[in-house]
Structure formats: C-alpha cells, structure tokens
C-alpha cells in the first residue's frame, strides 16, 4: 500500500516537463559511493486491512487499564478523558496543521493555545505559560535553564528527593550541558524538611519540589517555597493539574515557576506518551521563557487576532543565543487538556480532587497494610508490604488486579513499599476488591 497520488501518465508528463527521461536521473547528484544498491531490508508492504490486523494483534498482547483493575499511578494517571476531546483530536484542521507560523491561516489553533495558556495560568496562579513542553520531565530541565540565566551567579540546582525520579533523571542528563550541579535533599518520613532545603538553597539558583510528591504525600509546599525564596533561589513547584481544584496554586505561595505533567488532564496513558508538559512563570521571566508563546493583537482592520509572539527568544531567530532549542512541542495534547479542563469547569475540577481525596482516604482505611508515611495524601497512598512489593504486584495481577507501583524501583530501602493510586474512575467497590486481593496475596 502507499499513499501516493501520481498516475503513470502524470509521471511521464512530469518527467518531460523537467527534461529528464527517468526518475533515476534526478538522483545523479547523489555520489555513487553513498548510494544504496539494494532494496531496503524491511518487511513487505501491507494493505490497510492486513496492517490493521497485524497491529490489532500487537495491541491485544498488552494488558491495559480496562483489562485489569489498575491502581497504577506514579506520575501517569487513569483519569477520565471526556468525549469532547475527540472533537479536538478528530478535526483534521487541528490534527494536520503545522506550527502556526502564518497567523492568517491559523487563527483557530492560535486562539486555542491562547486559551490553554490562560487555563494553565489560572490553575497555577502564574502570569505566563508557554504553549507546552514535551512532557513533565523535560519542562523541569527547561525551568533549570531559565533559572541558570535568571540567577546567573549560582551554578547549583536543588531537587527534593520526593520529586518524580524520572524528572530528576532528566534534569541530571541536561545539567552538565548547562554547567549546573545538581544536589538532592532526602525525604524525612515521606516529605521534605524545609530546614534542609534552606541549608542547600543558600548557593542555589533554584529549588524544585513536587506537590503532591512522588511518594503520594502532601509536602509543606508553602514552607518549601519560603525556604527557597529566603535563600535567594527560585522556588519551582511540579504540580498535577487535576489536583489544583483543591490544592493551593503555586503562585499563591510564592513560587517563581510552576511546571508539571499535563497527561492527567486530557491525555490517555498511552504507554508513556505523547503527552504535554506545562511551564508557567511569574511575569519577571516572560522574556526568558522557552518555547512557543501566543499573544493577542489586532489585524490591520482592527480585529482581535492571535499570533506567535516574543519570537526573539526562539531558536529560529536567536539561534545559538535562544532560550531553548524547542520547536515542535505538544500542541494537540495541550488542546486535549484545554477541552478536558473546560468540560470539567471549576466545579468539576474541585469534585475530581475531592473524589480522589475521598477514595485515597478510604483506601488507607480499607487496606490492611501499614501506611508507609504519616503525611496526608491526595490520590496516592504508600503501604508497607510484608513481602517485596514487586512480588505483591506479581501475585495480585494473577487475581486481575494491578495494585500499584513498587517504590523500590527508585528508592533504596523501599523494596517493601507499594504506591497505590486512585482516580475518579475507581469506585468504592474497586477499592474493596483491592483490599481483598492484597489481604489474600500478603498473607
């Protein structure tokens, strides 16, 4: 199968117009020494029906969240994705447009990005949001690059150990190129001690922490931000958009930037992507923001119009002096986020948060295991298991329940800690079933 459109007649007419006798002649500029003189060694072509069958077979070999009762979270959450998202994703105009370089051709997508930026600012209490980053991990590296330039005399970044391990790994991969050193502040019974942050922040450009944190606990986020601010470091909060109907906005407790993984709001888990990362900041950092930003202006007839703006920050203008190398971002996924958060509205978002809070509390009560930490939780609870958590997962899956994430994958001394996540898609009965299976397999 192919998606080509030329007929044999077309080809002959076109070759004649060019003045060559064959397609091969067009490739004479490719030196013979670097040509591939054989057919590509890839599997044979498939028609659409065969292709669909082959790929459906691959999909059927995965155990998805509809095929077992899943309590997996740890950064990627099984929240409900409303059907209005399909309106956005199925419209060919959104799906098949490029980055909106030509505003007259792209007012719809530009306006939608402007609306997305507004929603992210509202959720986080910030003044400016970019049009999206790759995911919740890379936006943390972007934020460090902003901090490096905003606090130029400091070369250190402080990460709370309770920050998502993958976020920390990505920051550490990027840091050497930025000329930054990374230090981590260990947790104290599941949360981060503001005094230990204050100590480390004295010579740091930024402090990054997560609310709720990766261990499921609610951090003393205002105190952590204050510790960073008093030490002259930027406070950067990594937050979950679906929590921000009930949890305070980072802008309200003094953060310079708020970043996060957008997946929970409007994207399916999709084995890790594509999703969107968001990055929002106080207005002080507008001209240091990485990536695309849409602004409002007027057209020559005085009509409201939207356009990519502040482009002198960007790689296609500033080249080696740009604030980031990003071009393609995650617009379509971010628009799914806009649709989802608009579908929920302020009431719905609060209700999602309250349902998660209610079910996580209920889980803590129903599951006959010792909670690993004392701090309050929102949608995840960590439990101590009498046998290694990975073994609990293996056994529970035999009962059709995926009970959660084994924190020992990332944290030393936590091989017996299981992180259980709930969303509004789980029910009281689902939690009862989890409790029953955990009791059975931990016996």
Is 202 or 387 the residue whose CB approaches another protein more closely?
A: 387
Enumerate residues 424-443 that contact another protein by CB under 8 A: 424-425, 427-428
Question: Cβ–Cβ contacts within 10 Å for residue 322, how many?
Answer: 16
Gyration radius of the chain's alpha carbons: 25
Q: Which stretch binds another protein (CB under 8 A): 124-132, 150-158, 195-203, 433-441?
A: 124-132
Check residue 282 for interaction with another protein (CB under 8 A).
no
CA distance 342 to 348: 9
Check residue 149 for interaction with another protein (CB under 8 A).
no
Token reading at 319: 């080249």
DSSP type of residue 75: T
DSSP type of residue 187: P
Pick the binder of another protein from 21, 69, 135, 150 (CB under 8 A).
Answer: 135
CA distance 52 to 58: 10
CA distance 312 to 319: 9
CA distance 158 to 182: 6
The DSSP bridge pattern shows strands 128-129 and 277-281 to be: antiparallel
Pick the binder of another protein from 177, 412, 413, 443 (CB under 8 A).
Answer: 177
Is 232 or 309 the residue whose CB approaches another protein more closely?
A: 309
CA distance 145 to 164: 19
Pick the binder of another protein from 69, 134, 373, 379 (CB under 8 A).
Answer: 134
Q: Least Å distance between CB 75 and another protein? A: 8
Cβ neighbours of residue 75 closer than 8 Å, sequence gap 6 or more: 136, 164, 166, 214, 261
Token reading at 85: 């998202």
Contact between 289 and 323 (Cβ < 8 Å)? yes
Check residue 413 for interaction with another protein (CB under 8 A).
no
Pick the binder of another protein from 146, 239, 259, 293 (CB under 8 A).
Answer: 293
Pick the binder of another protein from 206, 215, 217, 247 (CB under 8 A).
Answer: 247
Pick the binder of another protein from 147, 207, 326, 438 (CB under 8 A).
Answer: 326
User: Among 419, 96, 81, 111, which residue's Cα sits nearest to residue 267?
Assistant: 81
Pick the binder of another protein from 204, 215, 307, 396 (CB under 8 A).
Answer: 307
Q: Least Å distance between CB 436 and another protein? A: 17
Bridge partners (DSSP) of residue 99 are none
Check residue 152 for interaction with another protein (CB under 8 A).
no
Contact between 102 and 111 (Cβ < 8 Å)? no
Pick the binder of another protein from 8, 48, 153, 398 (CB under 8 A).
Answer: 48
Bridge partners (DSSP) of residue 384 are 417
Pick the binder of another protein from 208, 262, 304, 337 (CB under 8 A).
Answer: 304
Contact between 389 and 57 (Cβ < 8 Å)? no
Contact between 370 and 384 (Cβ < 8 Å)? yes
Sign of CA dihedral 429, 431, 435, 437: positive
Is 56 or 412 the residue whose CB approaches another protein more closely?
A: 56
Pick the binder of another protein from 123, 255, 367, 396 (CB under 8 A).
Answer: 123
Q: Least Å distance between CB 136 and another protein? A: 7
CA distance 281 to 115: 16
Binding mask 186-205 for another protein (x = CB under 8 A): --------------------
Q: Which stretch binds another protein (CB under 8 A): 68-76, 184-192, 379-387, 434-442?
A: 68-76
Pick the binder of another protein from 162, 191, 355, 385 (CB under 8 A).
Answer: 355
Enumerate residues 18-47 that contact another protein by CB under 8 A: 18-20, 23, 25-31, 33-36, 39-47
Is 31 or 413 the residue whose CB approaches another protein more closely?
A: 31
Is 47 or 413 the residue whose CB approaches another protein more closely?
A: 47
CA distance 58 to 46: 15
Check residue 228 for interaction with another protein (CB under 8 A).
no
Binding mask 367-386 for another protein (x = CB under 8 A): ---------x-x--------
Is 109 or 143 the residue whose CB approaches another protein more closely?
A: 109
Question: Cβ–Cβ contacts within 10 Å for residue 99, how many?
Answer: 14
User: Among 387, 395, 441, 442, which residue's Cα sits nearest to residue 416?
Assistant: 387
Q: Least Å distance between CB 20 and another protein? A: 8
Enumerate residues 204-223 that contact another protein by CB under 8 A: 211, 218, 220-222
Enumerate residues 392-411 that contact another protein by CB under 8 A: 393-394, 397, 402, 405
């Amino acid at each position: 199968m192919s998606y080509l459109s030329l007929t044999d007649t077309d080809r002959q007419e076109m070759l004649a117009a060019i003045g060559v006798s064959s397609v091969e002649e067009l490739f004479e500029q490719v030196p013979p020494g670097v040509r591939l003189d054989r057919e590509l060694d890839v599997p044979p072509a498939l028609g659409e029906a065969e292709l669909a069958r082959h790929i459906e077979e691959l999909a059927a070999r995965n155990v998805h969240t509809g095929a077992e009762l899943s309590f997996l979270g740890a950064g990627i959450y099984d929240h409900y994705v409303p059907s209005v998202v399909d309106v956005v994703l199925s419209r060919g105009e959104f799906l098949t447009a490029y980055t909106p370089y030509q505003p007259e051709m792209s007012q719809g997508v530009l306006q939608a990005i402007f609306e997305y930026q507004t929603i992210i600012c509202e959720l986080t209490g910030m003044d400016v949001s970019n049009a999206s980053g790759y995911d919740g991990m890379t936006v943390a590296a972007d934020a460090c690059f902003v901090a490096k330039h905003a606090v130029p005399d400091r070369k250190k970044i402080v990460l709370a150990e309770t920050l998502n391990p993958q976020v920390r790994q990505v920051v550490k991969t990027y840091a050497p190129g930025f000329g930054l050193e990374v230090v981590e502040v260990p947790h104290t019974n599941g949360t981060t001690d503001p005094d230990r942050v204050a100590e480390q922040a004295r010579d740091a450009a930024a402090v990054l922490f997560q609310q709720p944190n990766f261990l499921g606990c609610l951090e003393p986020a205002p105190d952590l931000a204050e510790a960073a601010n008093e030490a002259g470091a930027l406070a950067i909060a990594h937050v979950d958009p679906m929590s921000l109907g009930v949890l305070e906005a980072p802008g309200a407790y003094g953060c310079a930037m708020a970043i996060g993984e957008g997946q929970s709001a409007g994207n399916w888990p999709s084995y890790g992507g594509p999703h969107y990362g968001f990055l929002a900041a106080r207005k002080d950092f507008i001209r240091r923001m990485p990536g695309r930003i849409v602004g409002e202006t007027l057209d020559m007839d005085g009509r409201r119009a939207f356009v990519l703006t502040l482009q002198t920050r960007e790689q296609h203008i500033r080249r080696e002096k740009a604030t980031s190398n990003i071009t393609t971002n995650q617009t379509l996924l971010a628009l799914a986020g806009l649709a989802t958060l608009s579908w929920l509205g302020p009431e719905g978002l609060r209700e999602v948060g309250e349902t998660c809070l209610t079910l996580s509390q209920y889980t803590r009560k129903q599951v006959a295991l010792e909670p690993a930490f004392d701090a309050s939780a929102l949608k995840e609870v960590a439990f101590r298991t009498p046998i290694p958590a990975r073994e609990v997962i293996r056994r529970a899956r035999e009962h059709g329940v995926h009970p959660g994430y084994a924190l020992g994958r990332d944290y030393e001394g936590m091989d017996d800690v299981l992180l259980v996540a709930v969303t509004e898609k789980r029910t009281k009965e689902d939690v009862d079933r989890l409790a029953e299976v955990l009791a059975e397999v931990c016996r």
